[in-house]
Amino acid sequence: MDALSDMLRVVGLTGGVFMEADFTAPWSVAGKVAPEFCRPFMVQPRQVVGFHYVVEGGLELGVEGHPPCRVEAGELVILPHNDVHTFGSDGARLPIPASELIVQASGGVQAGAPGIMKIVHGGGGPHTRVVCGFLGGNDNLESVLASLPAIMTMNLADLPGGDWIGRSFTYGAETLAAGDPGAATVLAKLAELLFVEAVRRYLASLPAEQTGWLAALRDPVVGRALSLLHARVAEPWTAEALAREVNMSRSAFADRFTAAVGQPPMRYLIGWRMQLARHQLRETRATIAQIAFQVGYDSEAAFTRAFRRECGAPPATWRRSESA
């Protein structure tokens, strides 16, 4: 399994659609995904990614410090860092906080399926329909998100099978408005698929001089080393052994890996082992000793010391706090 797929396997990625919005120009709204929007779908995630899919019409979206982008019907805009953003028919109007519109929705605006809100807002001009949702994950998702820009857009028509995906999203939005509980699940799974595709496309578009975890996957030496560490995490790796696997000297390999990833190979391995351990502690009933051996420690005591040093608490204590 490649390193990106392996990382995405343990981030606990889960999608949710919490709102369908009907806007008529002129309109402008500001907001971000609030924790309470996630609760109908999952335990509150540690990492949140916001997204909007434009079913009809178009909008302009901006994040402070970044140029605004135009998003048309059939396009998905993803906010990897869940920044406060404004979106509307144009960038000239003073935005209304989304929270105010959601409060008003309990009055005259219809409610959809459980956990799904519907907002109607605007001045009566050209119509825009948007599906708003989130992707949530655990702390491990931060490794992927840290390398992503504030705004990512994707035209579904550019994807293989994009017409089918677009029609599915549009159909899901229509049945969502009608209160079909299955529609939210369909849209959430589509959102997960599209997020992974957006990350893959962003990775392919990175300039040669780009650094960071995602960019490092393209380096033939560092990418191979990352794949080895992920595929054989329990192996008693040393920098020398890993360098031999990629046919480089230890010092040259360590310099190249550190420059690309931002940390030495053995430091990265410890972090990855701890991410896997947290995933196992959170998602399985495996014993501490079993997890220790799975992630490359020859004794429970050695694993416990390393886990306490990296995560601030012994694994058993950490597991109880997560369960609570």
pLDDT value at position 91?
A: 66
75-79, strands of its sheet edge to edge: 117-122, 14-24, 127-137, 47-56, 75-79, 152-155
CATH code 1.10.10.60 region(s) in the chain = 214-323
Amino acid 238 reads T
Span 277-311, pLDDT tens digits: 998 998 889 999 999 999 999 999 999 999 999 99
Say whether domain 3-205 belongs to CATH 3.30.70.270. Answer: no
pLDDT value at position 19?
A: 83
Query: What does CATH list as the number for 214-323?
Result: 1.10.10.60
The band of 109, judged by pLDDT with boundaries at 50, 70 and 90, is very low
Span 245-284, pLDDT tens digits: 999 999 999 999 999 888 999 999 999 999 899 989 988 8
The band of 104, judged by pLDDT with boundaries at 50, 70 and 90, is very low
Asked if the model's pLDDT at residue 162 lies above 50, the reply is yes
CATH code 2.60.120.10 region(s) in the chain = 3-205
pLDDT value at position 213?
A: 82
Q: CA-to-CA distance for 209 and 123, rounded, in angstroms?
A: 46
The segment with the largest mean pLDDT, out of 35-39, 138-142, 220-224, is 220-224
Asked if the model's pLDDT at residue 111 lies above 50, the reply is no
| Average confidence score pLDDT of the chain | 85
> Two tokens at 222?
């560092």
The band of 169, judged by pLDDT with boundaries at 50, 70 and 90, is confident
Span 22-44, pLDDT tens digits: 999 999 999 998 877 776 666 67
The band of 4, judged by pLDDT with boundaries at 50, 70 and 90, is confident
Mean pLDDT of 186-214: 82
